[in-house]
Structure 1
Amino acid sequence: MSFSGEQHPGVQAPTPETDGFRLNHTMLRVKDPERALAFYSRVFGMRVLRRLDFEELRFSLYFLARLEADDAVPEDTGERTVWTFSQKGLLELTHNWGTEDQADFAYHDGNAEPQGFGHICFSVPDLDAAEAWFDANGVEFVKRSDQGKMKDVVFVKDVDGYWIEVVEAARLAKLGA
């Protein structure tokens, strides 16, 4: 690998102690796992790799991925757990039991004040087709690809109000400075 990363103030060279480190997953808390799982499996084609329940602590974790045809996912649950935690780019949905029964319960989406967390992002092969798919499935748009100052970037919301950026990589060559 010859590319060593862009250099900016604050960037430091990786040390040998970090060899093998990789980003495994991002976690979102969800009010109702059935609704959230329906959304991510139907709209984004994700599959649940592993569900882990923590009865004493009253929460469940769902690890999702967009699997490729050649992914060799182990059938054995222990082996699949190990495999899951060795992947890149997973989405973890965390359900704190009982939130689904609280009518006025909602998590902060990170985009309302005070801002913090912003969004997750999916890359798609055809942004126009993705927008049509979202329309056909009643997905709420924050911004369409032809709106705002950043063209060719879509933002939608999931069932918990989290923002999802959707991009077509081929359209982004001239993005930014």
Structure 2
Amino acid sequence: MFNTEKQDGVVENPDTETQGYVFNHTMLRVKDPKRSLAFYTGVLGMRLLRRLDFAEMKFSLYFLVKTADENIPEDTKERQIYAFSREGVLEFTHNWGTENDDTQYHSGNSEPKGFGHLCFSVPDIRKACARFEKLGVEFQKKLDSGSMKDIAFIKDPDGYWIEIVQADLNGDMGR
């Protein structure tokens, strides 16, 4: 049975009613979905699970997943149910027309600070970072800079930071 770490404010035994809750997705606003989709599918290997258009409100939603699951439903309704029931989904919101104007989204890493970053764990961080370099991906922090040598940060087309880690290199972090 999982035992939570003990910290001030932590509820050690959450209400049983919450046991079926799933952390489903995080949403990012994107200026140009074509550019963002190319980055997240081509650079990070995510797959587009579903696109929903809301013409009356002039926006689209894109739901991406990182999965090797080949059993993703083909039926539109079943695929949408699958998208809203699994963990680790990334949602893009594209407000139509922003790709052609001067809209800039706040990454949360300049004042006023807020949202910080997404994170991807990779099997070989040096190999992944070499690939990102080859692909021309912009780095916020390379492996050899700063005091944390086993972590890198790259930027997506909208300037959102993406932390890159290798799990087995981080067992002693923060001790």
TM range (shorter): over 0.9
Residues 1:100 and 2:96 are matched in the alignment: no
Residue pairs, 1:1-177, within 5 angstroms: 2-12=1-11, 13-68=13-68, 70-102=69-101, 104-177=102-175
SS of 1:128 mapped into structure 2: helix
Q: Which runs of 5+ in 1 are unaligned?
A: none
| Whole-Å separation in 1 of the counterparts to 2:47 and 2:2 | 32
1:76-108 CA deviation, whole Å, 9 max, x = no partner?
000000001111111101100110010x22101
Q: How many aligned positions are there?
A: 174
1:12-56 CA deviation, whole Å, 9 max, x = no partner?
021111011111111100000000000101100111000011111
| Whole-Å separation in 2 of the counterparts to 1:40 and 1:133 | 14
AA at the equivalent of 2:159: G
Superposition deviation, residue 3 in structure 1: 2.0
AA at the equivalent of 1:36: S
Superposition deviation, residue 66 in structure 1: 1.3
User: How does the TM-score come out when normalised to structure 1?
Assistant: 0.96
| Whole-Å separation in 2 of the counterparts to 1:50 and 1:172 | 33
State, as a whole percentage, how many aligned pairs show the same letter.
58
| Whole-Å separation in 2 of the counterparts to 1:161 and 1:22 | 28
AA at the equivalent of 2:95: N
| Whole-Å separation in 1 of the counterparts to 2:71 and 2:118 | 25
Q: Which runs of 5+ in 2 are unaligned?
A: none
| Whole-Å separation in 2 of the counterparts to 1:92 and 1:15 | 28
| Whole-Å separation in 1 of the counterparts to 2:43 and 2:80 | 25
State the Cα RMSD in Å.
0.9
Superposition deviation, residue 146 in structure 1: 2.1
AA at the equivalent of 2:61: L
| 4+ runs deviating over 6 angstroms | none
Superposition deviation, residue 71 in structure 1: 4.0
| Whole-Å separation in 1 of the counterparts to 2:70 and 2:9 | 37
